[in-house]
């Protein structure tokens, strides 16, 4: 899953980025509203952490513009403002959740996990597809109850598949959602990761839809 963090405090931005990466996310950052709006407008994100008190363009305006542009990714507002009217304004502008500074990083991570799974139509932190299960809270994947040993990129791919079961996903889409902006992306390596995952979970679960991409499904 790929996350955008828009926060003008360099130290807090780095702390959030490091915590997200430690929990298996690919993370892009922006330090002002102008850059944040540009990234959210041009890159595909699974969720955004957005501060309201940003230089150049304030966070509320950034959020309103994204929603006007029909950007549907979930947005978690991160701000020092705690007046109820400002929270209401954030929700009315299109925010999905709200965390007030100072905050515990565990709370931010939990709220972000909930936003991502709800946006994909899942209600709990455990997501299953037949014998395959992911515990998004612990970042662990199981097959028939046995924990799988996965590399970070293998985990990111299977996590994306499990959040989007039965959907045909192109190599380009997978590349855009498992790598951050600065990574030297190569969609051809996706085939290598898919091959490794098939050996670990069985060849029949990840289907190749020729000319389109891949699909995680129990269907034969």
44-59 pLDDT, tens digit each: 999 999 999 899 999 9
Number of Cβ within a 10 Å radius of residue 19: 17
**DSSP per position, 113-146:** HHHHHHHTT--SSEEEETTEEEETTTTEEEETTE
184 φψ region: left (φ > 0), alpha (ψ -120 to 50), beta (else): beta
Instruction: Tell me the two tokens of residue 78.
Output: 């991160």
User: What's the mean pLDDT in 126-153?
Assistant: 94
Average of per-residue pLDDT values in the chain:
92
Q: Are residue 134 and residue 81 in the same domain, yes or no?
A: no
More reliable by pLDDT, 87 or 27 = 27
Count of domains forming the chain: 2
Residue owning tokens 């947005």: 75
Q: Element (H or E) spanning 77, and its range?
A: strand 75-79
Q: Are residue 50 and residue 155 in the same domain, yes or no?
A: no
Question: pLDDT category, 188, cuts 50, 70, 90?
Answer: confident
Least reliable range by pLDDT among 78-82, 97-101, 205-209:
78-82
- From 119, 149, 182, the end of a domain falls on 119
Q: Are residue 16 and residue 107 in the same domain, yes or no?
A: yes
Residue 33 belongs to domain with CATH number: 3.40.50.2300
CA distance 207 to 217: 7
Q: Are residue 73 and residue 152 in the same domain, yes or no?
A: no
Q: Which of 121, 183, 131 is nearest to 156 (CA)?
A: 183
CA distance 126 to 18: 24
Q: Are residue 148 and residue 179 in the same domain, yes or no?
A: yes
Domain residues for 23?
Answer: 2-119
Q: Are residue 23 and residue 77 in the same domain, yes or no?
A: yes
Q: Are residue 149 and residue 172 in the same domain, yes or no?
A: yes
**DSSP per position, 144-160:** TTEEP---HHHHHHHHH
Question: pLDDT category, 187, cuts 50, 70, 90?
Answer: low
């Amino acid at each position: 899953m790929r996350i955008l963090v828009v926060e003008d405090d360099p130290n807090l931005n780095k702390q959030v980025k490091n915590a997200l990466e430690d929990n298996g996310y690919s993370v892009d950052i922006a330090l002002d509203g102008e850059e944040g709006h540009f990234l959210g407008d041009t890159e595909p994100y699974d969720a955004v952490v957005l501060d309201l008190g940003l230089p150049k363009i304030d966070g509320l305006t950034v959020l309103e513009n994204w929603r006007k542009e029909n950007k549907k990714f979930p947005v978690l507002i991160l701000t020092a403002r705690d007046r109820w009217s400002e929270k209401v304004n954030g929700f009315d502008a299109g925010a999905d959740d709200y965390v007030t500074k100072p905050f515990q990083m565990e709370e931010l991570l939990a709220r972000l996990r909930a936003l991502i799974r709800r946006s994909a139509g899942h209600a709990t932190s455990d997501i299953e597809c037949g014998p395959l299960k992911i515990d998004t809270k612990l970042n662990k994947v199981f097959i028939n109850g046995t924990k799988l040993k996965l590399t970070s990129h293998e985990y990111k791919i299977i996590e994306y598949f499990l959040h989007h079961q039965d959907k045909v996903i192109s190599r380009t889409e997978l590349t855009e959602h498992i790598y951050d902006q600065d990574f030297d992306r190569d969609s051809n390596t996706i085939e290598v990761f898919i091959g490794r995952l098939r050996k670990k979970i069985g060849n029949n679960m990840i289907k190749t839809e020729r000319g389109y991409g891949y699909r995680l499904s129990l269907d034969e």
